Chains A and B, each alone.
Chain A
Amino acid sequence: MASARIPFPFTAIVGQAEMKQALLLAAVEPRLGGVMVFGDRGTGKSTAVRALAGLLPPMKVVPGCRYLCAPDDRSPCIEGCRDKAGKRTEEASVPFVDLPLGATEDRVVGSLDLERALATGEKRFEPGLLAKANRGFLYIDEINLLEDHLVDLLLDVAVSGTNVVEREGLSIRHPARFILVGSGNPEEGELRPQLLDRFGLSVDVRTPTDMGDRIEIVKRCDRFDRDPAAFVAEFHDSEQQTLDAIAKARKLLPKVQVSDDMLGLGAQLCSAVGADGLRGELTLLRAARAQAALGGKKEVKSHHVAEVATMALRHRLRRNVLDDTGSTSRIARAIAELIPA
């Protein structure tokens, strides 16, 4: 919503605690596999994602690399960027790519560089949006309206971290590790369950109904419009704290232990709510681990599991066409039964 230059501060977003939490978890543990945001229009979804990308510190990249390779990454780059650049590095801000509805497959995965091919006969790959989003965020508004084959492709790349292109005589793979954030309004068409299941976390975002919150949002946006720099400065401390928390949690994450009790709890919870498949269980525990790391703890406790259970499982429950009970309340019930407060 704001001007392109300075992103709205992440910590200045009023309310929407669950969405912010899910985004932080995804930033700490990229293997969670994306966040699906269900909700109304104009609730600050894209503002939040953009803000988080803007909050993260600039990352080191190999100069001139079209895939934003990290200098200390061992995996080979198809351009051999590290050989060309030697020891030089440069900084780039964490990418935020907004994938427009109606984008063609060529634009998303990349295609043959027509200009080079026609002018010089050189067969060269023109990276698409997936390459641009490497090491950053890929945001898709109204993902439920995106063509199915594109959604399949995106989720596949998001989970594997690699974009494999086999077309137009090209055979190329390049790194595409990004945090996929999709959003959509279920009233305008639903996502197929098998696709939904592949998102790590899902959150429900509602228009804030609290009048105090609404007024505060309007005031903050107005202040930001009138003097972005001053507004950002005001939130500098809280932004810094969030940033530190993410950095610490990322460092701590490999050391966080998950006891057998917690593994058992995860399995029990999944079977109690009827979440099919291992993926739910795995995501639940990974999210709990990230949650513990964000809290600075080295061991996952049951309250960590409880805190992330709703967003990790909500979209995986078997649906009953004739049963209207919300997934959220079913999970809440199971948590109350399994985890003593």
Chain B
Amino acid sequence: MTPDAAADESGERWALALSAIDILVAAGNGIGGILLRARPGPVRDAWADALNMVIPTRRLPASADAEALDGGLDLTATLASGKPVHRAGILADAAGKVLVVPMAERLNPALAARLATALDESAPPLVLFDEGDPEDPERERVPIALAERLAIHIDLNSVRLPMAELVAGEAPPPPLEMLAEPGAIAKDPETALAVGAAALGIASIRAAVMAVRVARAHARADDRPDAIDQLREADMAAAGALVLGPRATRLPPPAEEEPPPPDQEPPEEPPPEEEPPPPPPSDDTPGEDQEQPEPPPVDPTDMILDAAQTALPPGLLDALAAGTISKAPKASGSSGAKQKSITSGRPAGVRPGLPGRGVRLALIETIKTAAPWQKIRPKRDNGRLAIRSEDLRIRRFIAQTQSTTIFAVDASGSAAFARLAEAKGAVELLLAEAYVKRAEVALVAFRGTEAALALPPTRSLPRARKELAGLAGGGGTPIASGLDLARKVAEGEKGRGRSPLVVVLTDGRANVGGGEGVSPQDAAVASARAYRTSGIPAVFIDCSPRPRPQGAELAAAMGARLVTLPRVDAKAVVAAVKSATAGAT
């Protein structure tokens, strides 16, 4: 891409992002809000300033917990004054404003769930800043249930603003005209958006419903007299770019496949996956008898699709075209069960401390602590207990840590087939048992030149089966890259409060990796040493028919327990995993 084209695209995206603010203001909470993907920086700050100029905002403090959203009793103030003191919840406080959530990708699942529920009722519109690094495939994501309810998704990561203005600290560039011309009247806009959503492979019907709302809000923001009844091309383009494009999972079929002439009836059911969408049914658009000359209504489907494609995040377009994005992103929705906090679990006694942020007051203990002091403390005139903040006791819990088993499987060479099959079998066996323990399983496969995360951590058997079905084998043996990826995944799991275990299945002979003057085997040993520093337990299953020292050497470098299984079978692998987890706890 030439610099000019890049600048143009950046400018378009910026204009689009600014138009989203007007749409949000016009739409109220019908569209949920905006999910803005942008790393912290001047661009995002400029956008936030623009938002602030149009509508008051309320920031969700990072320290907020689910209770803070709804308000409740302010314990400390209550004790100080001897009367119940309430504090307003953030949701109530933000009425009439926009609730801004920074670092939304780190949002605690309970809070996200509460926000999602609030959106279904009547909550202030939300603006979520997803500050995750777009380059990092393992980054955290905004919980899906919440992201889905926000109509507008924008990616500002590729936007560059003129440096001169930023340096001068000037106000952000004023919102451009959204589109100079509202364009012709769109024929049957609801159908066009529904068809457009399907063409882009968006399964959720909510997206199409949201797109219509955004189009209508865009029309209202544009202040046109006929905005109530008629949507125009510009409205459809905005809906396509802001709602549908960012959710696309595939490219629409090429334009040559012109739909056959539309008929009156809604078309036949399309095969859900591969076929192009059927033609939109043409309705005679009512309210067409206006006096002034008006271009004939146009079918806006193509325009929606074009707009949607311009809004795709850079890189995604190529991936979509190449068909390499087949998997849904890692289901961050499941993090609800994963992130066990110390605020729940088995009760484990009481200690002094201040309640709040999910920590519960142990009332009886608090009163017991305060009781002996009553005689010497100044009497309250109303005869109430005199409780001071140092009397407060809170309950403690022991959270059960849950395990994630990460298989790093050597899928290279001729023995790959059997090894892979048994590894898959072991994954399924572990998952079948995982109901009770809530354990999760992931699989990293390494072959050819590099390693890939074939199965992100999951405890779903259907999902594992689906994703492992097409796993291929053969090629070189890049052990170093396999170990590195396994360590990365394991560290990610540790960061989520789970206890990871890595199970390596290989014959221990690397032939890919390293670089100038470093043999593949040395690279593998170096990666194994790096793994050891993470302190994450591991099992190294040497599955070569006649074990040679390389396997033992790698296992020792990793600090892993070595198991030799000349004939791999799923049950033996599971047994090795179990003995390792039993030893660890």
CA distance A218 to B583 in the complex (A): 56
- Ranked nearest first, the 9 interchain pairs of A and B with the lowest CB-CB distance are A102-B110, A212-B266, A42-B204, A42-B206, A101-B113, A145-B336, A209-B272, A210-B269, A4-B122
Asked if B459 and A190 make an inter-chain contact with CB atoms under 8 angstroms apart, the answer reads: yes
How far is the CB of A264 from the nearest CB of chain B, in Å? 33
Contact among A42, A117, A190, A217 with B363 in the assembled complex (CB-CB below 8 Å): A117
Chain A proximity mask over B345-388: 1 for CB below 8 Å, otherwise 0: 00000000000001011011000000000000000000011010
Known A-B contacts A209-B272, A211-B278; the reply to A142 vs B385 at CB < 8 A is no
CA distance A188 to B466 in the complex (A): 13
Near A by CB (< 8 A), chain B positions 95-150 give: 108-111, 113-114, 116-117, 120-122, 144-145, 148
Known A-B contacts A141-B145, A145-B333, A187-B331; the reply to A168 vs B363 at CB < 8 A is yes
How far is the CB of B203 from the nearest CB of chain A, in Å? 5
Asked if A211 and B358 make an inter-chain contact with CB atoms under 8 angstroms apart, the answer reads: no
Residues of A within 8 A of B197 (CB): 214
Asked if B109 and A101 make an inter-chain contact with CB atoms under 8 angstroms apart, the answer reads: yes
CA distance A169 to B385 in the complex (A): 18
Chain B proximity mask over A182-212: 1 for CB below 8 Å, otherwise 0: 0001111110110000000000000111111
Number of contact residues on B: which range applies? Answer: 35 or more
How far is the CB of A327 from the nearest CB of chain B, in Å? 12
Asked if B66 and A189 make an inter-chain contact with CB atoms under 8 angstroms apart, the answer reads: no
Chain A interface (Cβ < 8 Å from any Cβ of B)? 1, 3-4, 40-44, 46, 98, 100-106, 112, 114-115, 117-121, 141-142, 145-148, 168-169, 185-190, 192-193, 207-212, 214-219, 221-222, 225-226, 321-322, 324
Known A-B contacts A1-B209, A189-B334, A215-B281; the reply to A321 vs B460 at CB < 8 A is no
Asked if A217 and B205 make an inter-chain contact with CB atoms under 8 angstroms apart, the answer reads: yes
Residues of B within 8 A of A218 (CB): 190-191, 193-194, 205, 208-209, 212
Chain A proximity mask over B256-273: 1 for CB below 8 Å, otherwise 0: 000000000111111010
* B546 at interface, CB cutoff 8 A: no
How far is the CB of A155 from the nearest CB of chain B, in Å? 16
The residue on B at minimum CB distance from A117 is: B363
Chain B interface (Cβ < 8 Å from any Cβ of A)? 30, 66, 73, 75, 78-79, 82-84, 108-111, 113-114, 116-117, 120-122, 144-145, 148, 190-191, 193-195, 197-198, 203-209, 212-213, 216, 228, 265-270, 272, 277-278, 280-281, 331, 333-334, 336-337, 343-344, 358, 360-361, 363-364, 384-385, 387, 428-429, 432, 435-436, 438, 458-463, 465-466
The residue on A at minimum CB distance from B364 is: A169
The residue on B at minimum CB distance from A196 is: B435
Known A-B contacts A1-B120, A214-B198, A321-B429; the reply to A189 vs B209 at CB < 8 A is no
CA distance A189 to B109 in the complex (A): 15
Residues of B within 8 A of A41 (CB): 144-145, 148, 204, 206
Residues of B within 8 A of A186 (CB): 460, 462
The residue on A at minimum CB distance from B465 is: A324
Asked if B212 and A222 make an inter-chain contact with CB atoms under 8 angstroms apart, the answer reads: yes
How far is the CB of B217 from the nearest CB of chain A, in Å? 10
Q: Could you give 29 example pairs across A and B, Cβ below 8 Å?
A: A1-B206, A41-B204, A42-B203, A42-B204, A102-B111, A102-B114, A104-B358, A118-B84, A119-B84, A120-B384, A141-B113, A145-B336, A147-B337, A186-B462, A187-B463, A188-B334, A188-B463, A189-B459, A190-B460, A207-B205, A209-B269, A211-B268, A211-B269, A215-B191, A215-B281, A222-B209, A222-B213, A222-B216, A225-B30
Q: Using a Cβ cutoff of 8 Å, how many contacts connect chains A and B?
A: 194
CA distance A147 to B335 in the complex (A): 11
Residues of A within 8 A of B343 (CB): 104
How far is the CB of B558 from the nearest CB of chain A, in Å? 30
Contact among A119, A226, A321 with B78 in the assembled complex (CB-CB below 8 Å): A119
How far is the CB of B571 from the nearest CB of chain A, in Å? 13
Asked if A118 and B145 make an inter-chain contact with CB atoms under 8 angstroms apart, the answer reads: no
The residue on A at minimum CB distance from B28 is: A3
CA distance A114 to B436 in the complex (A): 35
Asked if A217 and B209 make an inter-chain contact with CB atoms under 8 angstroms apart, the answer reads: yes
CA distance A102 to B216 in the complex (A): 35
Residues of A within 8 A of B206 (CB): 1, 41-42
Known A-B contacts A102-B114, A189-B337, A211-B277; the reply to A321 vs B208 at CB < 8 A is no
